[in-house]
Structure 1
Amino acid sequence: MDRLRAFEVFATVVAKGSFIKAADALDTSPANVTRYVNELEGHLATRLLNRSSRKLSLTESGTALYERCRAILDDVAEAEAIASHTGLNPRGRLRINAGVTFGIKHLSPLWPVFMKKYPEINLDIDLIDRVVDMVEEGYDLTIRVSQAVSPANLVAKKLATSRNLVCAAPAYLKGRGMPKTPQDLREHTCLGFSYAATGDEWHFTGPDGKAQRVRITCPFHTNNGETLRAAALAGHGIIRPAAFLVGEDIRAGRLVRLLPDYQISDTDLLALYPSRRHVSAKVRVMLDFLGAAFKGTPPWDRDLLPYR
């Protein structure tokens, strides 16, 4: 059995949703398509497809194999393109993972531009706030705003930096007053982000260069940045967000920046990808595209005063 051909046939059956349509796409007979799928199932000793008179559906094993087949076939197509000197025209599916809030606010406007520039690359974008296993889940690239060190099996390319700020709505400050030092936050209502690296302990560097740590009590936690922002805008408390989330609100006066003399460690906008010897053309052009998009002062930091 030609396993690469079997993978191609199997992936086409899944993509087209039928053996007949797959045969048309591959310019072969339905019987030949059936033979390849049957031989592949026999070779793997597992059922890949559930067949009925109306539709096909993937088994658990079939789902796992389909994702791998797509990646393998894309890599083969790219290798052939490089060998035939057409590698400057990247193609294939590019699976990208990013956080929900950053993905919506700052990445979604970029995808139409990228698709127009690289029409033969098929984007598959997943927005998930949890940390994913890129290799296990089959992603080519993940984009994160994080202070965390990247795993040893991944390469991290820094695209930009996002400052972290403390802020609250004018309505909240009118009733509770302005905190003057980080220690004052203990007397205020603070709102927490579930994925914060230091949890409910907020870290600052004072004007004298000394570190200060404040353990706060949060009556509200969320794992979503927009939910945190909405609670702050409604006047429910003080938040410590990344500038990419609230830069526009601060410029418009909807939120007020607090404790400007106290610095919080910046977070980096990172593009992470598996550490392979050869970086595929589709990943390479995406890295270049994102690097150009966020070059210089990122949009969320523009017109925001630096720490004093």
Structure 2
Amino acid sequence: MDKLSSIEAFICAVESGNFTEAARRLDISAVMVGKHVRQLEELLDSRLLQRNTRRQHLTEAGESYYQQCKAALAQLRLAEDTVENMKRTPSGLLRISAPLNLGSAAIATLVARYQLNYPQVRIELDLSDSFVDLIGQGFDFAIRIGSLHPAEPLVAKKIGDYRMVVCAAPKYLAQHGTPQTPEALYQHRCLANMAWNKSNAWQLGDVFWPADSSFICNDGQALRQAALAGAGLVLQPEILLAEDIAAGRLVPVLQQWQQASRPIHLLWRQDLSPSEKRSSFIAWLHEQLPLALAV
């Protein structure tokens, strides 16, 4: 017999007044109730209940043990209810890693809207183009663009497509002309992200975006501002430039060589236990991100 069952039987025997009524409430035999109580008395080496043919009463040790066990069981039930409630209602901390440009342009807004729906969830959103170690650094989710590393022990779910567009300010095009082919990029001032390298370089047809760009920065918003100022051609996510394009502040070029989109995946650890918090976030991002990207 386990100790918790014995404690529950002891408390029930005290509160019901006798072993027979306790047995009825617990759906066990009165003999089994007695065995539970005797097991506790042997374990504690103390008499807990004094019984005769007509009544029972707690000893001094029994009274102390009863009060403390009752409080402990109440606390245990509260803990169980809390965990059960967490399964039903999303709550607790979500740690999310996302790429800088996509994160600032779309993910931050979507995460904030998710939190409005589930206010008991606390959000920690880390924006970086570095690949975080979900297991080692304790992240719940990571959002990544492009091909995945199959060796990673992670679950991956595609949640959208990352589309790029080449744009320039009207004043830049008026001064330098509009490129008609990707090869013409080498005669233009091009803005580039210093995070791009041979493994993640963007390509138009057979032409890679010029590595020897005239303006290099590690932030998409800064590159956008440089393009708006007329510093050159910019290659950035469509979602980041959509409002400028719609307003005529930037003009798309080389559209017939539209960049091939790259998949966006949501990743999480295989060992994560299911919870309403995680399940609701996966469902939310899978539904909302494609809508945000459909500019």
TM-score, with normalisation over the residues of structure 2?
0.65
1:110–1:300 CA distance, 2 compared to 1 (3 A): closer
5+ unaligned residues in a row in structure 1: which ranges?
Answer: 1-78, 206-210, 303-308
Instruction: Report deviation, 1:201.
Output: 5.8
- The reply to whether residue 274 of structure 1 matches residue 269 of structure 2 is yes
Q: Distance in 2 between matches of 1:147 and 1:86?
A: 34
Q: Of the candidates 271, 290, 294, which is equivalent to residue 289 of structure 2?
A: 294
Displaced runs of 4 or more, over 6 A: none
SS in 1 for 2:87: coil
Q: Distance in 2 between matches of 1:287 and 1:190?
A: 37
Q: Distance in 1 between matches of 2:173 and 2:218?
A: 24
Q: How does 1:138-157 map to 2 (within 5 A)?
A: 138-144=138-144, 146-150=145-149, 152-157=152-157
Give the AA of the match of 1:184. A
What does residue 243 of structure 1 align with?
Answer: 238
Higher mean C-alpha displacement, 213-222 vs 243-252:
213-222
Q: Distance in 1 between matches of 2:168 and 2:199?
A: 19
Deviations 1:139-170 (A, max 9, x none): 101223x1131452222212111211111111
CA contact (8 A) 2:160 2:293 kept: no
1:254–1:84 CA distance, 2 compared to 1 (3 A): closer
Give the AA of the match of 2:226. A
CA contact (8 A) 1:203 1:264 kept: yes
What does residue 252 of structure 1 align with?
Answer: 247
1:113–1:241 CA distance, 2 compared to 1 (3 A): closer
Q: Distance in 2 between matches of 1:81 and 1:98?
A: 33
Give the AA of the match of 1:230. Q
What does residue 128 of structure 1 align with?
Answer: 128
Q: Distance in 2 between matches of 1:187 and 1:122?
A: 49
Q: Distance in 2 between matches of 1:200 and 1:117?
A: 36
1:123–1:277 CA distance, 2 compared to 1 (3 A): closer
1:183–1:201 CA distance, 2 compared to 1 (3 A): farther
1:286–1:81 CA distance, 2 compared to 1 (3 A): farther
Instruction: Report deviation, 1:282.
Output: 1.6
Q: Distance in 2 between matches of 1:199 and 1:237?
A: 24
CA contact (8 A) 1:182 1:204 kept: yes
Q: Greater Rg, structure 1 or structure 2? A: 2
Give the AA of the match of 1:117. N
Instruction: Report deviation, 1:300.
Output: 4.3
5+ unaligned residues in a row in structure 2: which ranges?
Answer: 1-78
TM-score, with normalisation over the residues of structure 1?
0.62
- RMSD value, Cα: 2.7
What does residue 47 of structure 2 align with?
Answer: none
1:270–1:85 CA distance, 2 compared to 1 (3 A): same
What does residue 184 of structure 2 align with?
Answer: 184
Q: Distance in 1 between matches of 2:165 and 2:275?
A: 37
What does residue 162 of structure 1 align with?
Answer: 162
Instruction: Report deviation, 1:279.
Output: 3.5
From the two aligned structures, give the one with the greater helix fraction: 2
CA contact (8 A) 1:157 1:270 kept: yes
Give the AA of the match of 2:283. D
Aligned residues: 216
1:232–1:200 CA distance, 2 compared to 1 (3 A): farther
Q: Distance in 2 between matches of 1:143 and 1:81?
A: 33
